[in-house]
Amino acid sequence: MVTLSFIIAMFAGLLLQYFTGAVPGFGSQILLLPVIFLCGAAALPVWSMLSLAFVAGLMWDCLNYTPVEGRADFPFGGTILLYAGIGALMNGLRPLYLRGLWYIHAVVAGMLTSVLVLVEFIIITFRREPFALIWPREIWQRVGGSGLVAAVIAVPLFLILNWVGRRAGLFNPRHAAI
Amino acid sequence: MNRRANLIAIGVFIAALIGVFVLSPHNRQRLQSAFLGIVSPFLKKGSEVDSRWKSYRAGLKKLDELEAENQRLKVDNDQLRATNQALRGVEAENIRIKSALGYQGGSPFTLVPAHVIGRSPSNWWSTIVIDKGSVDLVQEEMAVVTPDGLVGKVVNLSEHSSSVLLLSDENCKVAGTVEGTKEQGIVRVEVRGQRTSNSIQPTMTLNFLTRFAPLRAGQKVFTSGAGTIYPPGILIGQIVEFKSRELDGQAIIEPSVDIAALSDVFVITGMKGATKSL
């Protein structure tokens, strides 16, 4: 039930992203899908995290996989693997979340969102222009900007998650009872 | 027990992942098309709400301006100005629609008008979603234009919506020619080490020109028609600068279309009078 709620929230986040646009001054996009996914990865057990990674990655690839002349920057399904990677890192910190230290995860959610954007950039660059990996300020702004916004968004998301979890009796982060 | 459940979950995940990786292009396309079909009604609604919100905010700005004027002018004068302002808005809308219809009527191409219902939230890819799909005779690889010039091409398709790869994406390359010359080359977005995104109005380059081509700023660049996607004669942009390089020449081009502010576009589905679509 909780996993399904996260899947619906991720779908809503994916749609909302189409209208949020870029962070003024940074040029980086506001990414809601990874933040919601990372909240789930922090709060839920491994099997749920993997389900969320699969759905999030597949949804993203369905909308963004664009082969040109039969060649794409990413293999279809590659984003699932990326989400599973950052989800595994977040899930490793789950014991801290269950002890009520959610604010650590808000910061980590920002960092991992930046990692996601950075890994995408590196893979794309190697695919398009091998050995032409340079790092102008705009790249760092976009990588850092997305992470910064993700960390800010993660704070209310974790607060809502904790509140709903307690009210619905689904889990209590302080008592490790998911 | 917990460890065992985790191992089973990982096993199922890997199996599902392999299943996705080995999807045939046909099945992958069907999956993408089905998901785009699920998403597009939400994007259409979202686009409507977004438009209403933007016009509401624009209205608030006008109210602010009117308030400032209120301090200087009499009340009845203000009312007249407000009415006038509202009529100007209608007139501007009228002109925009007439211009679009005029373009559609006067164009040598068969055009399907479409509305932009979403912009890709990706940091590194540049695509938009439009509200026309296969039932509107749109097909993959069809060119997308506005009255100002070339926008990109259709890459993914569902029944009622399509994804369009924008000219500002590095993967979108177009054969171009310079007006009044025989110079031809490949137009693509200028990368300068950074990847492009939807939020940036790009600079384009026309590459592989003659090293000392007599090109000057202000000359227009059109599609040359080489290849099967873009018909010849569609405006891409105009030359800002020409550089003579070691082996060839390169022109820097300012695109004619404001990629960051697209709202209405046209899909070229064929030539007028032609029996077969492009």
pLDDT for the residue numbered A22: 76
Residues B30 and B38 sit within 8 Å (Cβ to Cβ): no
If one compares B148 and B79, the residue with the highest pLDDT of the two is B148
Which of B194, B201, B230 to substitute to test the interface with A, most A CBs within 10 Å?
Answer: B194
**Domain over A2-167 is classified CATH 3.30.70:** no
pLDDT for the residue numbered B77: 63
Measured in angstroms, the CA of B155 and the nearest CA of chain A are apart by 7
Measured in angstroms, the CA of A166 and the nearest CA of chain B are apart by 24
Residue in chain A closest to B32 (alpha carbons) equals A62
> What would the 3-class secondary structure string for chain B be?
CHHHHHHHHHHHHHHHHHHHHCCCHHHHHHHHHHHHHHHHHHHHHHHHHHHHHHHHHHHHHHHHHHHHHHCCCCHHHHHHHHHHHHHHHHHHHHHHHHHHHHHHHHCCEEEEEEEEEEECCCCCCCEEEECCCHHHCCCCCCEEEECCEEEEEEEEECCCCEEEEECCCCCCCEEEEECCCCCEEEEEECCCCCCCCCCCCCCEEEEEECCCCCCCCCCEEEECCCCCCCCCCCEEEEEEEEEECCCCEEEEEEECCCHHHCCEEEEEEEECCCCCEC
Least confident of A59-68, B28-37, B251-260, B266-275: B266-275
Give B82's pLDDT tier (boundaries 50, 70, 90). very low
Residue in chain A closest to B157 (alpha carbons) equals A63
Give A177's pLDDT tier (boundaries 50, 70, 90). very low
Residue in chain A closest to B13 (alpha carbons) equals A50
Tokens of B205: 């380059």
| Structural domains present in chain B | 28-104 (no CATH), 110-272 (2.40.10.340)
Residues A87 and A53 sit within 8 Å (Cβ to Cβ): yes
Give B74's pLDDT tier (boundaries 50, 70, 90). low
pLDDT tens track for A4-35:
888 999 999 999 888 887 777 777 788 889 99
Q: CA-to-CA distance for B123 and B137, rounded, in angstroms? A: 31
Residues of B with Cβ-Cβ distance to A21 under 8 angstroms: 119, 199
Residue in chain B closest to A16 (alpha carbons) equals B46
Give A112's pLDDT tier (boundaries 50, 70, 90). very high
Residue in chain B closest to A72 (alpha carbons) equals B171
User: Is A122 a residue whose pLDDT tops 50?
Assistant: yes
Q: CA-to-CA distance for B56 and B52, rounded, in angstroms? A: 6
Least confident of A154-163, A164-173, B175-184, B225-234: A164-173
Q: Tell me what percent of the residues of chain B surpass a pLDDT of 90.
A: 7
Residues of A with Cβ-Cβ distance to B10 under 8 angstroms: 46, 50
Cα–Cα distances in Å, from A86 out to A42, A52, A91, B256?
A: 11, 12, 9, 40
If one compares A133 and B28, the residue with the highest pLDDT of the two is B28
Residues of B with Cβ-Cβ distance to A80 under 8 angstroms: 17, 20
Tokens of B132: 């026309």
Give A37's pLDDT tier (boundaries 50, 70, 90). very high
User: Is B173 a residue whose pLDDT tops 80?
Assistant: yes
Record: contact B9-A125, CB cut-off 8 A:
no
User: Is B224 a residue whose pLDDT tops 90?
Assistant: no
Q: CA-to-CA distance for B75 and B64, rounded, in angstroms? A: 15
Average the pLDDT over A100-123 and give the result.
Answer: 87
Tell me the whole-structure pTM to 2 decimals. Answer: 0.76
Measured in angstroms, the CA of B75 and the nearest CA of chain A are apart by 38
Tokens of A3: 């996993």
* N- to C-terminal Cα separation, chain A: 12
Residue in chain B closest to A140 (alpha carbons) equals B194
pLDDT for the residue numbered A93: 87
Where are the domains positioned within chain A? 2-167
Which of A10, A64, A94, A124 to substitute to test the interface with B, most B CBs within 10 Å?
Answer: A64
Measured in angstroms, the CA of A85 and the nearest CA of chain B are apart by 12
pLDDT tens track for B226-273:
877 888 888 888 888 888 877 888 888 888 888 878 888 999 887 766
Which of A38-42, A168-172, B58-62 is most confident? A38-42
Measured between CB atoms, does A129 come within 8 Å of chain B?
Answer: yes
Record: contact B194-A18, CB cut-off 8 A:
no
pLDDT for the residue numbered A51: 93
Average the pLDDT over B142-159 and give the result.
Answer: 88
Record: contact B156-A22, CB cut-off 8 A:
no
pLDDT for the residue numbered A86: 93
Q: CA-to-CA distance for B182 and B239, rounded, in angstroms? A: 15
Q: Tell me the pLDDT of chain B averaged across its residues.
A: 79
Give B277's pLDDT tier (boundaries 50, 70, 90). very low
Measured in angstroms, the CA of B129 and the nearest CA of chain A are apart by 9
Residues of B with Cβ-Cβ distance to A22 under 8 angstroms: 197-199
Record: contact A63-B171, CB cut-off 8 A:
no
- What ipTM goes with this model? 0.82
Q: Tell me the pLDDT of chain A averaged across its residues.
A: 83
Average the pLDDT over B214-222 and give the result.
Answer: 85
Residues of B with Cβ-Cβ distance to A65 under 8 angstroms: 28, 32
Residues of B with Cβ-Cβ distance to A142 under 8 angstroms: 123, 197
Name residue, tokens 């032609």: B274
Give B13's pLDDT tier (boundaries 50, 70, 90). very high
Q: Tell me what percent of the residues of chain B surpass a pLDDT of 70.
A: 79
Q: Can you give the length of chain B in residues?
A: 278
Q: CA-to-CA distance for B130 and B102, rounded, in angstroms? A: 21
B2-21 vs A46-64: helix crossing angle, rounded to 10: 10
Record: contact A139-B163, CB cut-off 8 A:
no
Record: contact B193-A73, CB cut-off 8 A:
no
